[in-house]
Structure 1
């Protein structure tokens, strides 16, 4: 691992030989004189390096005369090979000692410099090794802390997911109960509407806007109101379920990302210098693929959890509202159902009493019609019975009008006969008047009988509709558990 801001250095490998020092062929180059070597004769030994003549060549030529003498000597040496042995001995012993001393000092300086460099390098390598190890340990510690953070947030996300899954299941159950309760209201609504339709078949005076009809209309309104509230809460439950699932999806996606990040960071945490799969990735430190910072990273997960908690709170509140709604709607429908049944019972009782009264009145009317008819027959017989006495009296008067002369006297018999005729005629008139009155009374009684019979048929029809048609279909009503959504 390289330190940030340091330059990359090439690694050095120890040669695979048993000796620590390099070969002579490689060491010879390090002692090579940077100055150009003197030109030697073709017969000179070629294997000797130029540093062998360093003492002679390193002497400074301070003047042009010396350089010219040197060139002359070289020329003479080349021209006269027999004088070579005399010309090569051109240094004094002091020069030789000075050259040796210079070599000693230079060697000592080079060795000290090399030793200093070696110690500094060793110290540098040790310091850098310690720095690299500390940095690697700190990096591993940071990765371990990062893994701990990931594990913490992952556990928080997992806990929130479990809570959300439980809340979704609970809301689903309440939603199914609400759907079943809503479906259960269709039957009572249909029964109430059919009762209203049946009662529209009432006839005549019984087609009245009575308490039963008011309660039936109220029952229809109550059921429809309950259905409307149930539908609204059902729509809210569907929308809340979608929001819960969206929050759950975000949590699961965040958990999946953290599982992947934890696996990668775990692998990075356990990587060592001796691990397999490590390699160079040049320039990777200058590339930044990050899309978040630690604060935004933790805030993202915290926002997901807060959003889930908010949705769970809203879902829990909605479940409580649905429970209250189911309880209130079931109570309202049951109360109104009982009110309608009580109204029906009261109305049926009233109609039955009215029918009984009508039947009694009809029986009395029939009896009176019979007696009136007997009276009319008696009056007619009485009138027939008065015909003969009237004929007798009138005949007597007519016969007595034939008496001659003075015998035609207005005597007592005459007065009595006149009185008798008038009395009988008056009796006949009274009997005829009474007969007419009796016949009129009979007609009135007959009309009353017809009216009573018609009213009886109306009451019978009303009783049939209320008791047989309506109450027969109102015998059953969904139980309280079914109205709150339990099957």
Structure 2
């Protein structure tokens, strides 16, 4: 194919000499525009540039570095940053910015680097000063804290010694009373056993899972048993007059003093350990949450008041115990019949509840088997529907490929003939069928989720019932087997 050249004539302005560019028309057809072409707009070139089309008889000069679409001007006005005012860059042009812009860019980068260096020096100086001040304040704060911890350890040790002395005196007084109440103590131990068994059964039944955590007849009878045992205990306390109350008061006061002494002993050890901690200690660690104030922390005033109250209470109880020592007013009330009758009611209610729970468990297990069967069928249906949807991919591809190929028919041959409408109808038919299958697939997936939820609910219900049977049928029955007999409850 012969090559044609389009040469640019010299412009009228003698100050700007443009080099002619010889472009092969066959090689670069997109750039061979005449002057009156719409793409040759005035806004795409600099003011004063003139682009002329090829003239008859023009010779083709040697190819220059710049063509008619890149004027080669590298200096322009303040509007150079706006779109359309820069010179056009073609494949032969390497100019984009002016020398002034290049120098301004370099100067801005150097100034920015210098500013960053100054900022880095200032930050380094301030950081080192802050580190020195922080270390000094930390050392002073640690020294003050050590002195305060030493004073606190001394206070704790003094109160600990006082509590230890008072607890030893209270123990001696309790031993003297214990020798006179040995027989009554045995009877009281037997009478406490029904209350302990009923309370333990109630505690065990609180471990039932939520659907079975109901106030049934078993729980009502157990509550009645606990109340009855409590009334029996109160009656015995009244019968024993103030003797048992005094003994319980002595033990409570001694226990409170011992607990306080134990807490102070542990606190003293902790404070001693804290006093010995230093920066080079091997067992120091980070504890981010240690600065929080606990909701149960006491104030120094309440701490000292609590210790004084423990000591005063212990001394007062010891004084009253000495007055009551040697007095024994033992009167055992025959309550074995009432306790044994209440125990029989609890056992009957427990057996009835176990039977009901077993029956419910049987129904749930049967429903679970049916649910699993439907679940397997639904999963197979989903796989079949997905296979059917995928099977329509190839016919749809064939129809769409045929339509695509027919669109490439040249000129008047690309007509809407009967095969064209038939292929379109085929695509619509296949798409409608796939949409219907996807709808069925969505329904099957929804059904699968429903069955899965039903299975989880049934499994949860079975777990609840089995948990209840373990608590009522095994643990509670085992515990109830240790209920004291009528002879034991009578105190003989």
| TM range, smaller chain | 0.3 to 0.5
Q: How does the TM-score come out when normalised to structure 2? A: 0.39
Q: Does 1 or 2 have the higher relative contact order (CA < 8 Å, sep 6+)?
A: 1
Q: How does the TM-score come out when normalised to structure 1? A: 0.40
Q: Kindly name which structure, 1 or 2, has the bigger radius of gyration based on alpha carbons.
A: 1
